[in-house]
Amino acid sequence: MKLKFVKESDSVDVLLINSDGTFEGFSYIEMVNRLYLDKNIESPIFEGEFSDPERESISSLFSEISRKCFGDDENIEESVSTEDSINTEDQVLS
């Protein structure tokens, strides 16, 4: 499962990235379905002006999802995007 976070002004959109590279709107149900079927989570892609704490918070969420779903961080596939991506740790959106 892979997500793209897009920030424009104060608005943040989240998109699911399909295996063919196309995007679709975020849905918790679809996210859980993909986690179940794919058995992995890829590092998020960031586009726009995200602060370091925002990036850290989102990346931490991905680590926590991996730990809860798969027992560790080993199922997080690192994929650094050329669209302004960073992978770090901290706490996230509740």
Query: 35: domain range?
Result: 3-77
Calculate the average pLDDT of the chain: 80
Determine, yes or no, domain membership for 33.
yes
**Total of domains in the chain:** 1
23 pLDDT tier (thresholds 50, 70, 90): very high
Indicate whether 84 belongs to any domain: no
What mean pLDDT do residues 81-89 have? 39
This prediction's pTM? 0.72
Is residue 72 pLDDT above 80, yes or no?
Answer: no
CB 31 within 8 A of CB 19: no
Residue 22 in any domain: the answer is: yes
At residue 25, does pLDDT exceed 90?
yes
Higher pLDDT, residue 4 or 67: 4
Q: How many CA atoms lie within 13 A of 49 on its CB side?
A: 4
